[in-house]
Amino acid sequence: MRSSAALLAVASLLQLGGVAAVDVTALHNSLTAGGVSALFPTDALFLSLTVAPVNRRYSVAPVAVAFPTSPQQVAAAVQAGTAQGMPVVARSGGHSYIANGLGGSSGALVVDLSKMKSISVRSGNNTALIQTGNRLGDVALALNAAGRALPHGTCSYVGIGGHSGYGGFGFTSRQWGLTLDTIKSATVVLANGTIASASSSVNPDLFWAIRGASPSMGIVTSIEVQTFAAPASTTVFQYQWNSLDVAAASKMISALQTFAATNISPQLGIELVFAAGPSSGRVFVGVTGAWYGAASSFNSTIAPYLAIVTKPSSSTITPGSYIASVATLSAPDALNTTLKPDGHDTFYTKSLMTPSGSPMSSAAISAFVSYMAVQGFSSDTSWFVQVELYGGSNSAINAVALDSTAFSKRDTLFTIQMYASSSNLEPPYPSDGFSFLDGMANSIVANSPSGWAYGAYLNYADDRLANGNALYYGSHYARLQSIKASLDPVNTFRFPVGVTSTTTTPTGKTIRPNKSSTTCLAAASNADGAAVVVQPCTSGATNQQWTQNGATLLVFGNKCLDVTDSNTANGAKLQIWTCTPGQGGTAQRWTITSDKTIQWSGKAKCVDLTNGSTASGSVQQTWDCSSTVGAPFSNQVWNWV
């Protein structure tokens, strides 16, 4: 076990690095008490096992990384983090483009779910219970062993947690929907440490919110999903055009819009891929995807599209089993993610979701392709663009009612991912990489009608968007904020592009015993029944910020100082509890006297520094108020700072 001195040194290092200090020793002790294994910066394996993001453009320093093995341990970790007023984030696969699995910025407690990888398939109703520490490749293998499948992306190392929380698109999505559309129920750890169930009939607001914004609402530890019978056969296809001019490459996009408007089968999953061409003014184009119907009918299905465009330079058509197609599309990564470590890159990404009701105009398509052909050729980044077909005739994605889930883009035709890496995939990221992709996205928007209702996709997150809330969450953002306010009023689950609570914690003050100006009254967590303790004062710690509201003393904005069980005996322990109506219940009414005591209204009992001890974690109590007028018992004098 690491020493207290070493842990305090960590806190000092975090302060020097500009991170709000936390009581690292208290955090460690809380995690240990909850049975949660964790790594801190003082641990030899901390850097190698915990803090290397997939996107090396980010350098993020978590305070600690917890490795729970059960929902109960996840709850203990969340409570440990909220007690320190620090951001708490979940990491499923760690593939967030903006390092949100590490907090997005330094100072978070990361709850790593990699030890929670159970998958069970229920043959009776063909549902599966999947813990969110699983990655997509492992999910595909486990379900396929039972003859089942889910709609999901092609990158085998992506975690199912974030993927299903924000969408989850794959080549089967036009026939089966997004991953989040398959969720029937979930287990969620909330900010107060409660382990909640969510379904259409239990906590329906939470259930709605986690299907489109789950990382902001809690930590989803498992999802129950409706699986599908694995297709009897699958045909993977790839066509290539090695060098197209702007007119021919533009035709590739406009033709796909035309093709999508015909009565195409939902069994067809298809996307366009663009990359730099051999010379300025030209681009590489690929058409890739999968056909989930009979192999004999593939050619007749794709023929109407190929008839509109230039003859390809080459093509590869590979019929086979469903799981073979998943493996092919995931290559070079294996589906079994235990075989080798995950890779990394140094990149920036933007996305744009085009509305079915207002497809890309000819001007927008031409400007977009011209930009890729000219600026793309001269860019010092290694880039590609994917134009994914979400909509079109018979799309299961767009068949879902807009307001039935928090996912707000149910009228999408294309999702366009624009992705640019450093030339060697390593830092530093080229300084013009941002402006290159900004210009690429703008080439579409600037040449589209005013008020064009485009959006952006959270699984391709961009933390530089000025209007991210509108683009990512659309018309659902206000409802999400309201739900967030009820579940996480102090924004425990906070990170770039997340939903922010409409509730702002009132600006409070610390309450310090007269015996020690560096010790503060604090809530051990924001859960109902959490003990009220003393801790070393920490700047910005929300669990130490108290506000007087009438006869109540509030912490976390909606929790009241409360006498446990309304016990009037000396030594009754103090706790916090959700404030009851009418300025607090009888156990929540307090008077601040001129002598700086905190008196339980009508009870002649005062908040008392237990045994006069300022030891961190000491639970506070009530005791008979001192009868010495003007000189109260020293353990009952509290200063508001």
What are the tens digits of pLDDT across the range 346-401?
Answer: 999 999 999 999 999 999 999 999 999 999 999 999 999 999 999 999 999 999 99
CA-wise closest residue to 230 among 312, 126, 376, 115: 126
3-state secondary structure 378-421: HCCCEEEEEEEECCCCCCHHHHCCHHHCCCCCCCEEEEEEEEEE
Domain ranges of the chain: 4-112, 119-229, 234-320+344-464, 511-640
Segment 114-125, tens digit of pLDDT: 999 999 999 999
Number of residues that make up the chain: 641
Angle between helices 477-487 and 204-217 (to 10 degrees): 90
pTM of the model: 0.80
Fold category of 234-320+344-464 in CATH: Vanillyl-alcohol Oxidase; Chain A, domain 3 (3.40.462)
Least confident residue range of 44-48, 102-106, 143-147, 380-384: 44-48
DSSP string, 77-111: HHHHHHHTT--EEEESS---TT-GGGTSSSSPEEE
- The CATH code that applies to domain 119-229 is 3.30.465.10
Are 276 and 374 within 8 A, CB to CB? no
Q: Which conformational region is residue 157 in: left (phi greater than 0), alpha (psi within -120 to 50 degrees), or beta?
A: alpha
Return the structure tokens found at 272. Answer: 């366009």
Higher-pLDDT residue of 12 and 332 is 332
If you average pLDDT over residues 553-579, what whole number do you get?
90
Cβ-based neighbour number of residue 180 at 10 Å: 24
CA-wise closest residue to 461 among 477, 476, 473, 450: 473
Helix (H) / strand (E) containing 11: helix 4-16
Segment 131-148, tens digit of pLDDT: 999 999 999 999 999 999
E strand residue ranges, 467-604 = 511-513, 519-523, 532-536, 546-549, 552-555, 559-563, 574-578, 590-592, 598-600
Q: 559 pLDDT band (50/70/90 cuts)?
A: confident
CATH 1.25.40.10 fits 511-640, yes or no: no
Most confident option among 18-27, 295-304, 603-612: 295-304
What SS3 state is found at 51? coil
Residue 7: pLDDT over 60:
no
3-state secondary structure 179-213: HHHHEEEEEEECCCCCEEEEECCCCHHHHHHHHHH
Distance CA 489, CA 510 (A): 19
What's the chain's average pLDDT? 92
**Predicted pLDDT of residue 503:** 52
Return the structure tokens found at 466. Answer: 């000025």
Pick the CATH number of 4-112 from 3.30.70.20, 1.10.10.10, 3.30.43.10, 3.40.190.10: 3.30.43.10
Segment 60-88, tens digit of pLDDT: 999 999 999 999 999 999 999 988 889 99
Distance CA 232, CA 252 (A): 30
Q: Which conformational region is residue 241 in: left (phi greater than 0), alpha (psi within -120 to 50 degrees), or beta?
A: beta
Q: Cα-flanking dihedrals φ and ψ of residue 399, to 5°? A: -75, -15
Torsion angle of the four alpha carbons 620, 28, 38, 224, in this order, in degrees rounded to the nearest 10: 10
Residue 15: pLDDT over 80:
no
